[in-house]
Amino acid sequence: MKDLSRRAFLRYMSILGLATFSATALYAKGSKAQYKYQETPKDGKTCLECMHFIADTNECRMVEGKISPDGWCAAYYKLPNKAVPK
């Protein structure tokens, strides 16, 4: 077996890592069950006010399928308050 230098080994591993990374989907959604999605609000929190909710299509950036604006899931993250221009 041929001895590899440290530099050659690291170069090989870098190329292998880049090849793996480029072949992997960067945007994968989880199932409704995985995120404990429910069609009703939880503690007054709804998908409509979540940063992951896409109102135009009633979809979520995190959860697969159609989402109710009145629903809730474990990925809920409230939209940050927008600054009021002076």
- Apex 20 CA angle, 14 and 21, nearest 5: 85
Per-residue pLDDT at 59: 95
Strands 59-60 and 53-54, sheet pairing: antiparallel
Q: What is the DSSP letter of 71?
A: -
Longest dimension (CA), the chain: 71
Tokens at 36, concatenated: 């404990």
**Ordered mean pLDDT values, 10 residues apiece, the chain (86 residues):** 76 76 66 96 95 94 95 92 50
pTM, rounded to two decimals: 0.62
Q: How far apart are CA 28 and CA 64, in angstroms?
A: 9
The pLDDT, as a whole number, for residue 16 is 76
